Structure 1
């Protein structure tokens, strides 16, 4: 009986391994791979349909709420042989902010009462723009990007922790595409956006994901 049980376990183990092997063979490779050697020197343009800036603030000390800026545009100039010389210039249309609440979105974009200063961005806000001033590699696939962020008519230095996430040919356009993610935290009061302080947090966490296509 013991031999029968051991034989059954062995057969089951071999069968499981064979199935896993077949599944691995059948699974198609993703077009983008985390392989920095796929990135070639040149100028890349942001794929605005797949580039987003998420933001997150704390509400009354109860919980966080968040939203997204879409339609990000801009360029990345990069030479893998000289990453420190890379340049990033990105524009974010503030008016395209998205939240899960129509009331909150309207509050962010409504004009000030009786011609006064708006609580947040106000109607028809100018796009925000980030222009890098330095790029310092911190590993094979990571870098610290410092630059000037202009928002609400104010320019302040901002540092982004950036991570390369994948590169390859886009199967739809065949364009060589390189993806990056980044995080940073800013204080909105430094950009003249002081509505509901301090019960809505001054600190705003930004979560950045951008795909750049080579031109």
Structure 2
């Protein structure tokens, strides 16, 4: 009888261990970049980078629908590598960073989309406009970072219309569609 109870307890423990809890990761701004690219009158395809990302990723490998993403992008981190253009992008002609200093993304649904792939739907807020956006996400790696802490990395892409967010100056001659590419690494901070 004792052996049967011990076996039942071991099986229960093993089945519980098979379902890992969701893990909450903190975005590492040093290894995260959001890149926007558009057509400039058909002549070139410039880019702007949005750095200094802050936020969390909750990832549940056993139930991806229980996963979530919440990110804040300070417009102070906007960098086109041309100071005068950065000033123009932050002006009221575009982002109006004085009145709206951050852009945000908050997921509303996460779905599996094949091996190592996810579809992340959420609300992107720029200025005072919030619109649904779908990110096509690739899970790069889950493991330990160089500090021995749990870490995760993703790449993602989407296309948005900037006129949806009140940053449509010169559209459509300067393309309304903006391609977004994201790479992010996040980790579990060390316990204090």
Tell me the TM-score normalised to structure 1 length: 0.74
SS in 2 for 1:139: coil
Residues 54-82 of structure 1, C-alpha deviations (whole Å, 9 max, x = no match):
00010011121001000111111122111
Partner of 2:41: 60
Is this contact kept in 1: 2:116–2:138, CA < 8 A?
Answer: yes
Higher helix share: 1
* Whole-angstrom distance in 2 between the partners of 1:123 and 1:185: 22
Residues 84-103 of structure 1, C-alpha deviations (whole Å, 9 max, x = no match):
11111111112210012122
SS in 2 for 1:59: coil
* Whole-angstrom distance in 1 between the partners of 2:184 and 2:97: 26
Partner of 1:184: 158
Quote the offset at 1:123 in angstroms: 4.0
1:49 aligns with 2:49: no
Bigger radius of gyration among the two: 1
Structure 1: runs of 5+ lacking an equivalent: 1-38, 111-117
Give the 4+ runs in structure 1 shifted more than 2 A: 122-126
1:168 aligns with 2:149: no
Structure 2: runs of 5+ lacking an equivalent: 1-19
Residues 118-140 of structure 1, C-alpha deviations (whole Å, 9 max, x = no match):
21112433211111111110112
Quote the offset at 1:159 in angstroms: 0.3
* Whole-angstrom distance in 1 between the partners of 2:93 and 2:145: 41
Quote the offset at 1:175 in angstroms: 1.7
* Whole-angstrom distance in 2 between the partners of 1:62 and 1:209: 27
Does the C-alpha gap of structure 1 residues 123 and 83 become closer, same or farther in structure 2, counting only changes over 3 Å?
A: closer
SS in 2 for 1:49: helix
- Kindly report the root-mean-square deviation, in angstroms, between the aligned alpha carbons of the 2 structures: 1.5
Is this contact kept in 1: 2:53–2:71, CA < 8 A?
Answer: yes
Does the C-alpha gap of structure 1 residues 123 and 74 become closer, same or farther in structure 2, counting only changes over 3 Å?
A: closer
* Whole-angstrom distance in 2 between the partners of 1:154 and 1:59: 24
Does the C-alpha gap of structure 1 residues 184 and 165 become closer, same or farther in structure 2, counting only changes over 3 Å?
A: same
1:202 aligns with 2:183: no
Does the C-alpha gap of structure 1 residues 53 and 134 become closer, same or farther in structure 2, counting only changes over 3 Å?
A: same
* Whole-angstrom distance in 1 between the partners of 2:183 and 2:129: 23
* Whole-angstrom distance in 2 between the partners of 1:106 and 1:199: 21
* Whole-angstrom distance in 2 between the partners of 1:67 and 1:160: 18
Residues 142-177 of structure 1, C-alpha deviations (whole Å, 9 max, x = no match):
011101111111110000000001132221x32211
